[in-house]
Amino acid sequence: MTVNGSVRRRREGVKRDYDAVIVDERQDKRPTLRDVARLAGVSHQTVSRAINDKGEIDPETRRRVLDAARQLHYRPSRFARGLVRPGTTTLGLIVPDVVNPFFPELIAGVIDAAGQAGWQVLVSSGQDDVTREPGLLRALSGQVDALVCYLFTPETVIADAIEGVPLVLMNQRPRNPAFGAVEIDVVGGVRALVRHLAGRGHRRLGMIDCPGANDAARRTVFLAEAAELGLAPAAVVDVEQSVAGGEDGFARLSAAHPEVTAVFCFNDLVAVGAHRAARRLGRAVPGDVALAGYDGLTLGELLDPSLTTVYLDKRRMGELAVAQARRLLSGERPEPAVLETRLLVRESA
């Protein structure tokens, strides 16, 4: 994934062309579904089903739930504003940043797949701040039937926040067997890239990595494959996930290791910065140094030369996540789905 900084302004609204709603954790400040559940003496899932008129619920239980809701003045904004249709399965989606160029395609994939199932989607963003994620989970889990999330919060915190709501994680393999997951085939894509670079005659490789992303697999596979092929030990510099980080990383890598002839960037956004720095420093791409990224963002096509990258189908990732959620709602405990990657060779490497 790519993350290029915090979003300063929060927006809340509805895009009517897509059955999705943008929400944030501030909704957790009003009386919650769990407050109603405690007063009525039932589970929060029972409250959700009673309010949504779903399934067979004892009339006395439903009456007790609705009385508790009225007593607490509990009116979820999604019903009060008519944003969600009662009786419809609702999926909550949390991503780190809705304006990050990685996530719009992923969100579209979730919305399209959910729409085919007749579901609605509530979309929320952590705005590149992991401390917001537990609040978002608490806010959404009281209003949805299942959750699909791209999170960095520890799994134990996630489990406490959702209190049993079916959940699919998209960037980590969960230890909890009750969670669904979509894993990315990092190994296959990065290995293919290193072999491609070696096949082009590159013996001294470098990497601009982003340890703050908590995704060590790309670096691990990159270094292991370079060693397996007998290449010189790869040089690595660490940066923040941004275009500016890529520029800084390329400048430092070039100064410290001028022998490096090919650079793998943590993601395409960082690679854009590296591309700009190479031009500023007078280094021809790919003549003096080859560049490659990860994610397969469309913006890589706009560079000159265009960016070689490890491609992920972000829409497909969203579709796989929804399929996992459907299986969880049916009572299954599915094995993690795997999103395949492939090397997309363009002009830069």
Q: pLDDT digit string (tens) for 302-344?
A: 999 999 999 999 999 999 999 999 999 888 899 999 999 999 9
Confidence (pLDDT) at 75: 60
Kindly state the average pLDDT of the residues 94-115. 93
Domains contained in the chain, CATH given = 14-184+316-340 (3.40.50.2300), 186-312 (3.40.50.2300)
Nearest residue to 312 (alpha-carbon basis) of 291, 337, 294, 292: 294
pLDDT at residue 7 is higher than 70: no
Q: Among 73, 72, 125, 134, which residue's Cα sits nearest to residue 103?
A: 125
Reported as a single tens digit per residue, the pLDDT across 11-41 is 333 333 444 545 554 444 567 778 888 899 8
Q: pLDDT at position 44, please?
A: 73
Taking the C-alpha atoms of residue 239 and residue 266, their distance in angstroms, rounded to an integer, is: 9
Tell me which residue has tokens 């720095």: 277
Mean pLDDT, the chain, rounded, equals 86
Work out the pLDDT band at 73, boundaries 50, 70, 90.
Answer: confident
Average pLDDT (87-100) is 87
